[in-house]
């Protein structure tokens, strides 16, 4: 094959077919949230959801926070979460802070979840012996239903969903009440209860 134009055409067709296959094989959705304390922006969270034809959904939440509260406080927090055919099956939470580094991992093992949750001043290795179909990560892309059971990837704890007013849902994790506010079915704001200061995550796009 000595025709340069023909060779280039074949290469371009190959690239086209490859990228078309990729685009048909999966889709991605993303958003960003400003993280605020007392109305002051202290960081940002970026979230993404990737769906594939094999009924797998992968969520990624990455937040970075830096502020002064009787000393410098910083946090780099990343959640990776996988659903298979609608069931939550695996997650890792990697936190790097000025108080140390922490890693939580939860994995479905045939008939239970193996939990190894570690975060600041908290550990949990208690297994969960029933299937779960929603998590904190999923709430950034999908409005929950009252009665849904949500798992926190960070703590390995579950909570039922309560609708405290139209389109405002409450989830209690480790004693803290977190509120998710939806606008036209899309998550607009999250209020996170925290022992130091309450955080508000406001949608940017």
Average pLDDT, the chain: 89
Write down the pTM of the prediction: 0.84
Check residues 141 and 5 and name the one with the higher pLDDT: 141
pLDDT band for 7, please (50, 70, 90 cuts). very low
List pLDDT tens digits, range 118-129: 999 999 999 999
List pLDDT tens digits, range 156-203: 999 999 999 999 999 999 999 999 999 999 999 999 997 767 899 999
CA distances from 160 to 135, 145, 151 (A): 11, 10, 9
Q: Which of 186, 188, 187, 168 is nearest to 178 (CA)?
A: 168
List pLDDT tens digits, range 45-88: 999 999 988 889 999 999 999 987 667 889 999 999 999 999 99
């Amino acid at each position: 094959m000595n025709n340069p134009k023909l060779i280039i055409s074949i290469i371009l067709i190959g690239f086209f077919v490859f990228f078309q296959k990729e685009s048909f094989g999966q889709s991605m959705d993303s958003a960003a949230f400003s993280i605020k304390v007392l109305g002051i922006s202290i960081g940002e969270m970026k979230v993404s959801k990737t769906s594939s034809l094999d009924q797998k959904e992968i969520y990624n939440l990455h937040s970075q926070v830096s502020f002064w509260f009787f000393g410098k406080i910083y946090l780099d927090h990343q959640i990776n979460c996988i659903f298979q055919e609608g069931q939550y099956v695996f997650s890792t939470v990697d936190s790097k802070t000025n108080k140390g580094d922490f890693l939580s991992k939860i994995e479905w093992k045939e008939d239970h979840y193996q939990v190894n949750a570690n975060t600041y001043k908290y550990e949990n290795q208690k297994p969960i012996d029933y299937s779960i179909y929603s998590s904190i990560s999923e709430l950034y892309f999908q409005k929950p239903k009252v009665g849904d059971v949500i798992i926190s990837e960070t703590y390995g704890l579950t909570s039922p969903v309560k609708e405290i007013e139209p389109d405002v849902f409450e989830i209690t994790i480790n004693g803290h009440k977190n509120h998710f506010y939806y606008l036209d079915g899309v998550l607009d704001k999250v209020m996170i209860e925290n022992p130091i200061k309450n955080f508000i995550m406001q949608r940017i796009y």
